[in-house]
Each structure stands twice: as C-alpha cells, then as structure tokens.
Structure 1
Amino acid sequence: MSALSGSQPVVVVPQRGRRAGAALPWWLAVVDAVLVVGLGVLCAWPLGAAYTGSRWLLAVVTGLLVGVLVGWLGARWRWGPWTTTLAAAVGYFAVGSAVAVPNRAQGGGVVPTADSLRDLTVGLVHAWREALTLPVPLGESGVVLIVPLVIGLVGGLVATVLLWRSRSPGLAGVVLGLVLVLASAFGDIAAGAALTRGLAVAAVGLVWLQWRGQRHVRGRWGRRVLATLLVVGVAGGAAAGLGSLSDPAAHREVLRDHVDPPFDPRDYPSPLAKFRAYKKEPVRTESILFTVDNLEPGTLVRLAVMDTYDGIVWNVSGGPGSAHDSGTFRRLRNDPEANARATVRGRVTIGSYTGVWVPSIGETLSMTPVRDGRTDDTAAAELVINPETGTVAQIGGVAPGTSFEVEAVAPPSLVEEEIAVLEADESVSLPPPAIVPEELVDRVQRWESEDRFGGGTGGELAQFLRDAFREHGFYSDGIDDDVPAGHGASRLAMLTKTANPVGNAEQYAAAMGVIGQRLGLPIRVVVGFKVPPGTGDVRGENMTAWTEVKLGDAGWVPFEPTPPEDQKLRRPNDDPDEEPQPQVLQPPRVPGEPKEASDNLQQGDGQRKDLDILEVLGAIIGIVLDVAKVLLILSPLWGVLLFKLLRRRRRRKACDATVRLTGAWRELADRMRDLGVRPAPGATRRESAYAAADRYDVVPVVTLAHTADRHVYGEGEPSIEEAQAYWADVDTALKRLRKETPWWRRLLARFSLASVPWRSGLDRVRGAAARRGQALRRRAGTLRRKRR
C-alpha cells in the first residue's frame, strides 16, 4: 500500500471501446471527424491519377463529410442499421446531383432532377464498370464521378460507426486501409508520392488510434509518439529499399489492366451526320485534315462503314447485340504473315482531323501508329477494327501529328462488263432498314419503268441504281443555297418526291443504301475521302460518301451514286438577261425640312437628377421575386406533375401485358402532345406517328406505332417481357426527344395540360355536383311534403 500511496501517477485501465449508451464527448467527435476526413482524402488520393480536373476530389470530400454526418446523427439519436442506411441513401441522392452529375441537374448544376436521380440510381451499378473500361484520364461527364463519391461516403460512414458505436474502434483504421486499396485498384498505373503518402497515413493513423484507445492513461505521450514514428520510419525505409531493388520501370497493378474495355460504336454519333460540316469553311479548303503518302490520286480513303439504318441516320454497327454479319470490334493485331498479301502500303498523317474513326484503305491488314519517329505503343493498344467491315477506330480519338503506316488490300478494280455478270452474295445478312420512305420507292419504280429495267444480276441492279441517281439527280453542297442537310427518312423523302432531286453525296449514298437493302442487295454505306491530285493534302472538300455491294467472289465493290459537281439545277433567276435594260439616272433626293420642336415640351437644364435607378429596379425585382415565390408554392402545377407521375407509374405497372404495352405508346404520345404535336382528333397510332415524324425525325415514332399495332392486333397476346422491351424502346425515344428539345420547351412541357384530361374531369365534377344538387332538392321536397 505504501508503494501505491506515493507520488507515482495513478494508472487507469484503458477502455477497449465505448460502452453502449455512453455519451460521446463533443471534442472527441470533432477530432475523429477531422482525422477521418483528412486520412480518407489521403487514402483516396490514387483516384486522382485516373481523373482529370479536381471534381473527383470534391466528390471524395463530399462523400466523407456526408458519411461522417450520418454516422454522428446515428450515434446521437441511436439509429438502427436500417435507419442509418436509409439516411446515407438520402444524403447520397441529396448531394449526388450537384457533385457527381451536375450536367443533369438544374439551377446551375445544383437542383436535382428526374434525370440526375435516375443517373445516380443506375450509376451505382454501371459507374464501376465505366470507371475501368473508359480510357484514362476519365472526364467529368457521365457517371464516373459516382465512384469517388460512394467510396468516400461508405468509408466515412463505416469508419465513424466503428469509432462511435462499437467496442473495436481500431477497426476504423482497417476501413481506411480498404479505402486506400480500393482507390488504388480503380486508379491508374502511375501515382505520384505513393510511399510518402502511405507513410503519412500510417503514422497519423497509428498515433491517433493509439491515443484514442489509451487517452485515459497518464503517461509520457511524447515518447510514445516518437516510438510510433520510429517504427513507421523503419518500415518505410525498408519498403523504399525493397522498391529500389525491384524493376524501376515496373508499374503497380490496377484493375483496368485486367479489363478489356469494350468499344460500342453506338456511343458515338453517325460519321455521315457530320458530312455537311466538312463542306463549310475553313474546313473545306483551308484546314488540312490529314496527309497521305504513296497513294494514287482518286483512291478512296474510308472513315467508317455503316450497314444499319434506323430511319434517322446510317450508323456503324458492331457493338453488343449487333447482327452477326456486321462483325464485332476487336483489338487490331498486326499479322506479319498476312501482310504479304498487301497491295497498298501507304502512310496517313493526321492534321486537324479529330474523331475516333481512323482513315483506312480497303481491307486493312496492319496499321502502326508512329509519333515523333517512334512507334506509339499507347495508341497501338487502343486501335480496334471490325474485321467484317474494315472500319478502324481508336479509343479516345486520334491525336494530331500521329502517322499511321497502313498495309492493306485495295478494293477490286472491275470494268462495267465484269460487274454486270456478277451475282449478289446472298450469304450476307444485314439488318433491314427501319423505315423506307414511300416516295423513294415510288421514284425508283418510275425509273425502272422509264428505263425498262426488268431485273437482272445483283451487279446490274447496283449499276442501275447508281446510274439512275447520277442521271436524274442534281448536285448541291447546300452551302450556297437552302438545300437542307441530313439523311433521315424525311430528308430522303424530300429528295425523291420532287421532280428534280437535289443533294450531295450524303443524301444520294444514303438513298441508294436504303432502297438497295429494300430490294435485297447486300449493300452498305461508306463515308470517307477521295485522295486529290498533287501533294496528298486531304481537306473537307475531298469528303464524299459511296456505297459498297458484295458481288460474288469479287467482294465489296464500290459504287458512287452522286451526280458530278458541275451537274447543278438551274434556277429560273439563274438565266442571264439577254437584253439588259439601260440604266436610268434617278433624280437626286431632296432632304425635307426639319420638324420644329413642339412648344409644350419641357426644357431641361441639362443636369442629371439624383435618382438611383438601380435601387428602384432592385426594389421592384425584390417584390416580383417575393410574389413569384408565393405563387410558386401555392401553384396547382405541382398537382400536374404528381398526376403525370402517377399516370406513368400506373401504365408501367399494369398487370395485363397488352394494357402495359399500349400504355407505353400513350406515354410517348402524351409527351409529344405536351411538346406541341397535335394529331387530328380520333387519329390512329400510325396517323399520330406520321404527324409527329414531320417534326421530330430523331425519334422512330412510326416504327414504335407499327410495333404497338402488331402486338395489339396481331395473333396471340404479347408477353410481359415484350411489354417491358417496348417500354425500354419508348424510354430511349423519350431520351432522344429530350436531347432535341430546348431546355425551356422541356420545362414548359412538364407543366403542360395538353395531355391532362382536365376538361373531361371538369365535366365529371359538374355532373357529380348536378346529381348531388338534384338529390338534395328531392330530399328537401320530401321533407316539405312530410311537414304538410
């Protein structure tokens, strides 16, 4: 007892965890929160190597703060696991729109919208895949920022729950370590100051957790801190020594090294849709898109081969779910043995051209990117090719200054007589066009009757279509006149319904491809350039489009249906005046007398009054804003939004498959009606679709109407899976519709009453009120009779 009663400090047994129900000191909560956020940022720092900009850091910090806040609220109010999880989900959706998907939010990227909330929901699954498959560095669009947000939120929440609500607070360090591992796995192969950052995290984490677990013990903490730092320093020195003995050029392993990023051409716009942009200055004549060497003038250099037509654009196929004969994009691997067949060996040097489609020639056997005189291994690893179509693409797009050394087999060079005897290759099966304009079919039938074409081989049919467009059509680049661009179904109908078709290679190649597939030809559309004579500098004026038909053993034979550029339609005012009239000298204009000032106008003294216009305007604007706020809160338009939401949910959740499928069409029709499309009263689905197609050609409304009629009036009842698939098609159409509509028009459409049957509702209310009034009157009459 005498030893214990001396001057030695009293030692308190350290707590192994906070007892359930014990109050959490506020200062300890602040220290824990600051260290969790700070160490969490250091642990998540490897993500920065995979992202551009600093929004990833904002997402990590915001996620950590939300996780810490939810953990503190759960500890203070004793939330259970389900309540804590629900609060974390609410926090995620509350801040996610502004942090992860600001381009889908409103109010300067802060106010959540239905689109942003949908992206946040879907992104919880898809963001992880996109963060690994998209080429680094990742941008700030899409859903890739959900990854750092979720890592920070979950890490901060779990760490604070273990600190404040468990008997093993030291496990919070394990959680932060897992954040470091996960961030490194989703980062890039290069991460600066990795060792320094790891040592800092280890030192601060060990000292913090040691102090936190033994904060009630009176001892020499300075010695303990120094001992901990010494251990961390020795371990860091050993790690640095082992790292210097290993291969210095080796990179650390990350998940993206073991994931083959897929290439889906549907993620990119149709290359034919940009045709008109290449015909405008300065791209047309000034900018050098790329330069070719060792290629003969007139050689067709392709950008992309398109074999699918959805009624809006011709596009490149080959992605997931595409037809088998459309091929699939794979990594371009150079085969030295196959290069022996090469008939063309050239070089393409990129200038101002941008895009993912790489210029190529014929059947590409090998393509080697060269930059600064050396092979660019990074660009070579990102080259993909569709073996069936020969389309070459580079993930992330080509870089200016890169040269591609190409070895290829040139397309067959056949004379007209050889083409005429070739049959079409019936083994090729391409997806049929979604929409074929009736005007195009009628025009080709008239050409067949005029030229007395009675059919023949596939080569003869291709020659007939090519010659018909070249002879009966006229050329216009659309720059100097009002000829519209595009090659949608409405544009092709406009091309062929007039007596004199006028267009450029975009329309003629697209029209020949559509009608050729309709007639059973294995035909596809190609967009590219024709090598000019001279230095080999390719500009926008050299861009063209053509078709390719697979004939017998000859393979894909090119056909150019575009009329010559000098074959232009002469307008009535283009004819010169053969007898010009003599110029008549006009009499000089006599200026009028100045008007005298009115006598009753008050004359000022030339001095400005002391009136603050800005203050008056500010007061007026403030009053208007206050009134607008009150009107906005009390507005019945919120009921319109709720009605449309419940209506959509009722249609989508209908038990009967037919009702669910027709509900999808009604949803699409109501959305277009809100946007101003007014079909005739009592119009059928097809009639309504044709009325909408004239205004929105980006949406295959006619195809959706035909599909709905086929399911409703066809044999058998549709299944639930078919109804769900039709809803998915409608959602895609609505997404395209929103992209083509100005933001202010979309906002007005949300509150539009065009699709709300308010008149019938008023009639029902009036009828109910009238019946109620009659019942009351009858009851009053009965009471009066009883009193008598």
Structure 2
Amino acid sequence: MTTSVDTKPRAQRVDSQAETAPATPVATRARADAAPSASARPRANDRPPAGSQGPRHKTTRSRLLTITQRFATYRSKLPIWSLLVLALLFAGPIAAFEPVFGGGVGAIAAGAGVACGLAIAAASTHWRWDALTTVLSVAVTYFLGGSAAALRSEALFGFLPTGQTLQVMVLGSFRAWKDLLTLTPPVSVYSGPALVPWMSGLILALLAGLITARAGRAVLGSIPVVVMAVIAVFFGLTHYPLPLAPVLAWWALLVAWWASAAQYQRITLGQDVLVGRKSSPGAEATVGRRSRSTVYVGRRAVGAILVLAVSVAVAMPAAAFLGSPRGRIVGRDLIHPPLDVQAYPSPMSSFRHYTTDLKDETLLTVSDLPENQRVRIAAMDVYDGTTFGMSQKRGDGHTGYIQVQTTIPGRSQGASVVTLTTTGLSGPWVPVLGTPSQIAFTGAQSSEQKNGLHVDTWANAALTTGPAGSMSYNVTTDFVAPVRDEELANLVALSSTSEDKNVPDGVAEKAAELTQNASTPLAAARAIEHYLATNGYYLNENTRFSRPGVRTDRLERMLTSDENLIGDDQQYTALMALMLHQLGINARVVMGAYPEGGSQGGAATLRGSDIRAWVEVEFSGGVWGVFDPTPPRDHVPQTQVPKPRSVPRPQVLQPPEPPEPPAEMPPPTRDQNADPLKPPEAGLPWGIIAGVSGAILLLALPPLAILAFKAGRRRRRRRAAAGDALVGSWDEVVDLAADSGLRIELGRTRQETAWALSSQWQLGEDPGDPFALVTGEMRSGEDGSTSSSDRGDAGGRGRYVIDGWSRFGGDVPSPVVIARFADVANFASNGASRDRARAAWAQVGQLRDQVSKRAGFFARVRRALSLRSLRMRRKLRLSALIERTMREEIER
C-alpha cells in the first residue's frame, strides 16, 4: 500500500493549514491523477492476514478528535449575493411584527433593521472588519437610523434624529420590550415599542449575514432568522390566524437554501459527488480536501419520506393537544398588568367629603360643556358588602384599566377639544367627558402624568399614577346626545356579569316587588328609578338617619320602610344597581359632575356641590342608558331631630401666667487646638466615587484584558529559548498583520507570506537593518560550504554566513528579514543564537513603529484591541491537532 505524505517542512508554511486548491477541471484531473487509487487503499470489509495484528480499537481521545475534525471541516465563504436569500427569508419575520403594531409601523421598523444589518454584514465581509469596527458600525446605525425607522413622529422632518429621539432610543433599548408586552394593541400609537423590531432586525440580520457570508455556514446562519420569527410571535397577538400556506412556503425556501448552499460549497472546494450505485466501485477516495462520495438516490428518497412521516405523526397529535392556533400563548399572556385598580380606595368614599366639606370649593373647570352633557370621574360595577368598586379584567370585553400615553387605542379621532383643570380632587382619577380619543396633559408635571395615564374603555374612565393633585389637560372627544327611551326600547338589555358579595337582605325581594308589572328590562329599571326618586328623602348630614357609606347594614335599614329611605347619591345609586344585578341586568354606578339643573352649554365651573352619581344600564350595541334614582336635594325628611340649643357662658378674664425663668445655658467652651477660622470640612461622596470608579473599571476591563494578554504573549515569545524566540518573532509579525486587517493566505512559505505582507504594508522601499542581511555568494568548496576566512570577513561586515543557504542580492523589507531569521532557526545547523534573537526582535520593534506611523489614531486603537490574531491562532492550533491525529491514524 502506498500513501502520499506531505513532506513539506512545517516552518516553510505559516504553522499550518493546506491551501485549498481551485475547483477547476484541470486541477480536478491533476488531483485525481495524484491520488492513490481506491484499490490501493484497504477496504472496510477486508480482514487482516492470519497472524497479523487486527485493527486497533479507537480510544476516547481519538473519538473526540474525530468529532472535532467533523465540526472543524473547512467551508468556503459564501458569496455576497447569499445575503439576498437571507433578505427573502427575513420577509416572514418582518411580516409577523405587523399585526401587533398596525399601520405598517412594525413592518417598516423590522424591514429597516434587517436591511441595515445585512448591509453592515456585507461591508464587514468585503473589507474584513474586525469585531470592534463592526460593533461600532451597529451602534452608529442604531442611533442614526432609529429615528427614521421607529420614531418618525418625533424625528425632525420624519427621519432626522433629535435630542428627544436619541433619549427615547437610549431608554427604549431596555424599556421598549416591556412596553410592547404591556400596552394594548395596536401599539403603533405609542412612542417607543417600534424599537423592538428595529433592534431585532438590526442585530439578528447582522449575525445571520456574518455567519452565512463570512463563515460559510448556511444552517447556523439561518438560526437568527428563526429567532427573529420567535420574537415576533412572542410579542404578537394571542388571537391571530396562522397563515399556514406562507409558513410552509417559508420552511420550504429555508430547506432549499440549505441544500443550495451546501452544493455551492462542494463545487467551490472541488468535491465530486457521484450519484447512483454504479457510479462508484463502492469506496471513497480522499486527497487533501477533495473527496469523492457516492449518493444513493433510492436511500435518500426513502429517508426523506420517513422524515416527513415522522414529522406529520408528531405534529398532528401536538396540534390537537395544544388546540387551535387562534388561541396560542404569547408573551403578553404571561405578563400581568402592572396596575391593580382595586388597590385604590373607591371614588365613592370621597363623595360625602365633596358635597359637604368642599361644597363651595371649585374642583373642576371645563372650557366647553355642551348641553345635557356630564363629566365622568369613575365607574364602579361590583359590590363587596362595604363599597362599590371597580372590577378587574373579565371575559365580557371589560379589559380594565390599560396604560396609554396620549391616544386611546381603538377609537377614532374626536371632533371636539375640551380643556379641563382639576384642583382638590382625591385619588388618581382623571375626569373625562363624551367619548374621548386623546388625553394630552399640559403643565409642569405633564410628563409624569402622561406616563402614568390608564384608561378603561369599558367604563369610559381614566386615571393616572402620576401626580394628580392639580391637573390641566386637553380632551379630544365626541359628544353623543343622551339616548331616549324610544330608542332604548328597541334594544336588548345585557345580562349582568358582576360577582357581588354580601348583598343586603331584602334587595332581591324589593326588586321583584317593584318590577312585578314591568314587561321589559327598561321598564323594570324605570320602575326602580321612579320608586327611589319619589319615595326617598335626600339628606347628606352625618346623623343617625343619614350615615355615609353603602355598608350592608346601612342599605338594609333603608329597605325596612319608606320613612327610613333617607340618604344621598351614594345609597340610592348603590341600591338601584344591586336591584338590577339581582334581576340579571348589567348596571354600574358612575360618579361625575354637572351643574345644578343640567348643563346649558359653554364654559362651566364645577364645585363640590356639583359632584353627583347616577346609574347606567348596558344595552346591545354598546349603548348605555342613564338613570337618576336620587331624590331632589330639596326633598328632605320632615321629621328631623332638633339640634340641642347651646347656652353661652360668660367669659371671665383669666390672670396672666407668671413669666418663666430664663433657661440656663452652659458656658461656652472652645477647643484650644481648633482653628477658629477653619470652616468644617465637607465629607467626600465616597459612594458616588466608588460607583463611578466601578463602572469605569467594568467598562475598561475587557480592553485591558486584551492588552495584557497580548503583552504577555509578546513577552513569552521574546524571552523563550533562542530558536523559539526567532520563530516567535515571525509569529509576532503574523499576529501584527492579522490585527491590522491584512489578508494572510495560509499554506505559503514564510518568505512568500513576508513579501505579501510587505506589499500590503507598502514596505518594499523601506529595507530592514543591513546587519540582519546576508549578501553575496561566497562558496569555496564543491559542496557549497564557506571557508572560515570568508565567514570572518562577512561577520566583520555585519553579515551572517550560513552554509548551504542562498543569500539576498540586495536590501529587503523587515518582514522578509524576520522570516529569514525564523527559517534559519528552524533549518540551519547552529542557526539559533541569542544575538540573532535580539536582532530579530529589534526588527519586529522597527516594523511595529513603521506600521504605527503609517496608521491613524483610531486604526492603532482598533489594531491594539483586535481579536483576529487570537482567533487565527486558535484555528491554527485546531488544524494542527487534526492534522497530527490524521497522520497518527495513517501511521497505524
């Protein structure tokens, strides 16, 4: 058996790895002629001769090296046009971002991010940027392009960045993810969430482009595409139909791209693939990196069918178990609303305070309150035995209070703009009127009030978690005339979904008694309203007949007899709402304000005495009927307990109190050693100093670690033994070239590589130190040796004479001189000495100075922090390990 072994000295190459042969027909035939025939290699089924030792068992180390070799298989770079295929694959994730935004905002932001990311990947691949340059390009693109891609409404002219957009992009880099999950779709009306598709597209497209075009790994390069699709679904809508046909087409395109990329790389590397059983004698031949393998079409077809069958068998039961795709679980289903409205006291708890203590105080001013319109403060729909409160999210469309900033989602632009100003209101409630579509705060605290604004579209009410003591804001709204009974009679009253607790005894019986003659829910509601407004008495004084609140015992007392039917808006609205709930009619209590006798139009100033409450009943079509069960305020009870008459006592002039003795003060003392003119020293803010120093140290730690590692590597090479120091000087030149971004072709000799680097550095006219050169041809014997006299003469002239080595005929650049030193150390007898090592490293220092002078400041910083040389050394070590393992396997 004959085996072709590469006997080229290791030092004649760049430590390393064979150069890939071009994939041309001539080269393919040449390699085929040079390769040993298949018959010359032992077949897998051949048995060793009798008495010979059988094949050795593979050890754990050999198996691990085999796996490492498989993953380290060389792949050619894919062309730049492969990024166009990635752009087509990214179309699916881009479209998946759109439903949660609406209006094209999500698709534009994601598409712009993908386009910029692929463009940076193409530039980084073409010009061989290092990691630092690529990261800086991404950061600059994020801030310059983010305004046009995701913040067009705040950008100057719709695309130029401003101070506000830069601030939003800095904060949005970590806040936008939470906002996109907690805000109610469509989120295109909000500022900031569009940064999520912009960032996702920019970063993931960059990773996909670099892995695909630069590393030549099509399968791994598709992972960022899938990750972006997962992010789009995770931040998307729960109830959204799955477009099955486009998804299947997308996966088919992905698999086709994998197959096409693999075939392109096989052709580029010169690999021959033989299809069919008759196209190969049944063996495989391998020469260098060229391989010939047989592909059996029948087996591949059967395998593909089996894979599809298993996939369908697993996917169908999984789809049946997980349910319809319309009910998928997304991120917003796992995030609880940040606002707990039940943590706030009921707005009705302040009703008596407004109508008595603040009855003459101005609480609200409205720039324009149309006729028969009312200002709404809050709506309550659930009773717990103590008070009427606000329910959380329910299954009937009531989403509860959701966070907004200015625009209320799902509502068309209103036709009227009304300015409201509040002073003295308790709680976080934001009064509104009509059907508002926008609430824009003004004033010094508008930013905090805007960020904390929440709206309950079902209750048609709003609140803010910001400062709510005094507010001024503009409400864009639509006013609708009150619905008349003739219109409500044609509608169906909706059933109650409230879960009341501790309902007072007698409420259900009283409701049935009052509505026994009512034929419709509207008639039942009017009957209850008429009874309470006619038979009840209004009294808001804190007496035993009119206690505040709506506790169970308070309402039960009102139901015992008509004489005890005494109270104010709190009690009457609560009684009517509970009666309607017992009849199965959906109703709520609304607290608001309107002038005495109703609004007559124009500006209005509302005081504490204008705070009122009423009941609303829900009908089909989202229509709410208004009911006022509270008796007129002048309908007071006739029998009131007289107040006790107070008898004034005569005032007696009291004698003045005796003066207090002066307090005795301790005698003043002074430290003899203290400087009376020296002011007290202020303590240093050690906490701030430590925090800032720690942050600076944390940011500077990675660059310092890179610089320290390179300095230690250079120190080890220079202080090694003479031969290793000479070889290390050449390694330092190669690392310097790699960090500078120069192209290093593996597989060449040191001399070839040195001349190539000198050409890229443009050092051809700048020679090295003549002391390191060997010039002239001094042969005195037929064997090519040099006499001792010649040696001494050459050494005196500052030149080294090495037996059997050709010499330069003139001055050469420093990299070539250093490469010759390394070759002499490897292959010449007694070619390594400490003097030559010092001379070689002196050349390295001169070369570094020359390169630094030719480069700018940023280029020097980028070279110092570059990781290219570290990655190159790791790849070379891995290749050498694989080569050594393969050589050991051949020798066995």
TM-score normalised per structure 2: 0.33
- For the pair shown, the structure with the greater C-alpha radius of gyration is 2
Q: Which has the higher contact order (CA 8 A, sep 6+)?
A: 2
With normalisation by structure 1, the TM-score equals 0.37
